[in-house]
Amino acid sequence: MNAEAEPAGPPGAGDRLEPGGRLEGVALQLHALARAKNRWQGLLSAVLAISGDLELPVVLHRIVTTAMDLAGARYGALGVLGPSGDRLEQFITAGLTPEERAALAGIDFPHGRGVLGHLIRHPGPLRVDDIPSHPASVGFPPGHPPMRTLLGVAITVRGEIYGDLYLSERVDGRPFDEDDEEIVRALAGAAGIAIENARLFGYMRDSAEQFQRLLLPTLPDLAPFSGAAVYRTAAEPAGVGGDWYDAAVLPDRACVAVIGDVVGHDLHAAAAMAQARNMLRALLYDRRTPPSSVLTQLDHTVHAITDLPVTTACLARIEPVADGWILHWSTAGHLPPLVLTPDGRAWYLEGEPGIPLGVDVAVDRPDHTHPLPVGGTVVLFTDGLVEDPARSIDEGLDALAALAAAHAADPLDDLVRALANHHPSDGHDDMAILAIRTPATR
């Protein structure tokens, strides 16, 4: 045995004694792994965040802010390409302070010149450590905050470039690195799916609303009465809905108005709604009064010839009397009519509601009457206007009555729009509003 040889120590013992030894290297590797793990966990959270909403403007803005968080960037933007694919038609920004936004007031958003345009023409990832030195740079407009570094990544939707995601100025002052590029590219891949989902949702919502509107009538001339109606889809519709309304002046000079709500949000509900409305229109001319008789006959008819889901409805007739007008109405499990006077008073016509259509055709339906003032308004509406799980239905009805009273003297079109725009519900159901106003003179 060589006498000069030193006995071997345990593995790593010498490393602890040597600055910069292998143990320090292992520690750095572990730190890097932990940082990478945290970053990728952040990416998963970011993907969930951008996928948690289906409104396209919200999704686009959230993509920008989550990318900023992942890369530690001070500024971010998403430029959406126009149909030609060679310029930006929309530019969503984040990170600008109120003062910086004020300094840019009146300056048009960039349309794809300079370094931004370079990414449009060359859609691969782009990292720039000094923007003014880049060959494509054309400078910044007056009032633009100073920016030196840039990370740009294209976002693809269904195989086509949708736009470009831009980040600038890491908060630690360092240039963007390969890790930043890698994780932002991963986010951009998820962003393309989120954007496509939001676009499909918007298309379905718009198509459902258009289809629903085609099924609903355009109100005819109701002279000497006046009428207005509005329909709004739910904030998150599952499809077309079953809300419906109709109004007409009958040969006996009575104005009849009806509103209803078929249970369900699908094509079956929409088809049932159209069938019920069409049959009711025919029954109104055949069996004009009382309203309970018309609803009973409708219930028998749909029970015999079609599979109508449970449906609520309120049918009202406004008839002339010697000193004004009188309202005859009957409800089938529906909310009561709301009456408004020109001087701003509002109250509900309470009465036994009766059972919904499609439940039991043998149950008698009640009728109710109430005088109406000259120039008075009757508002019929579906429950989507007042329902909110966070409060009782009575609170919603009270809020609606107060809102209607504040607009009681408005033209009818303005009145129904105000009710639809400022409704007290949570917006998660379709809503329909029908308002009929008696003539100003008798």
Give per-residue pLDDT as tens, 300-357. 877 776 666 788 999 999 998 887 899 999 999 999 999 999 999 999 998 888 999 8
What average pLDDT does the chain have?
Answer: 82
pLDDT at 1: 38
Q: Residue 175's pLDDT band (boundaries 50, 70, 90)?
A: very high
Q: What is the pLDDT of residue 6?
A: 40
150-160 pLDDT, tens per residue?
A: 999 999 998 88
Please report which confidence band the pLDDT of residue 123 belongs to, taking 50, 70 and 90 as the band edges: confident
337: tokens are 């009519």
Which tens digits make up the pLDDT trace of 376-425? Answer: 999 999 999 999 989 999 999 999 999 999 999 999 999 999 999 999 99
Under the banding of pLDDT at 50, 70 and 90, the label for residue 266 is low
pLDDT of residue 85: 83
Q: Please check the confidence at residue 438 and state whether its pLDDT lies above 80.
A: yes
pLDDT at 11 (0 to 100): 42
| pLDDT exceeds cutoff 60 at 100 | yes
Reported as type and span, the H/E element at residue 299 is helix 291-305
Task: Over range 142-147, report the average pLDDT.
Answer: 86
- Provide the pLDDT for residue 284: 80
Q: Map tokens 């504040």 to a residue.
A: 406
pTM, 2 dp: 0.59
What is the pLDDT, as a whole number, of residue 264? 60
Residue 381 is predicted with a pLDDT of 97
CA angle in degrees (0–180, nearest 5) for 172-177-182:
120
* DSSP string over 367-416: -EEEEE-TT-EEEEE-GGGT--TTS-HHHHHHHHHHHHHHTTTS-HHHHH
Share of the chain above pLDDT 90, in %: 41
Nearest Cα to Cα of residue 411 among 349, 340, 345: 340
- CB neighbours of 95 closer than 8 A, spacing ≥ 6? 68, 73, 74, 75, 76
Mean pLDDT, rounded, for 99-110: 84
What is d(CA 208, CA 237) in angstroms, rounded to the nearest whole number?
8
Q: Where are the alpha helices (DSSP H) in 6-93?
A: 13-17, 22-50, 56-71
pLDDT band at 251 (very low <50, low <70, confident <90, very high): confident
Cα-based distances in Å from 173 to 74, 126, 167, 168: 10, 18, 13, 10
The maximal CA–CA distance of the chain, rounded, in angstroms, is 131
How many CB atoms lie under 10 A from the CB of residue 65? 17
For the segment 92-115, the average pLDDT, to the nearest whole number, is 85
More confident residue, 51 or 255: 255
pLDDT digits (tens, 9 = 90+) for 69-82: 989 999 999 999 98
Query: Rounded to whole angstroms, how far apart are CA atoms 107 and 110?
Result: 9
Map residue 79 onto helix, strand or coil: strand
Q: What is the pLDDT of residue 370?
A: 95
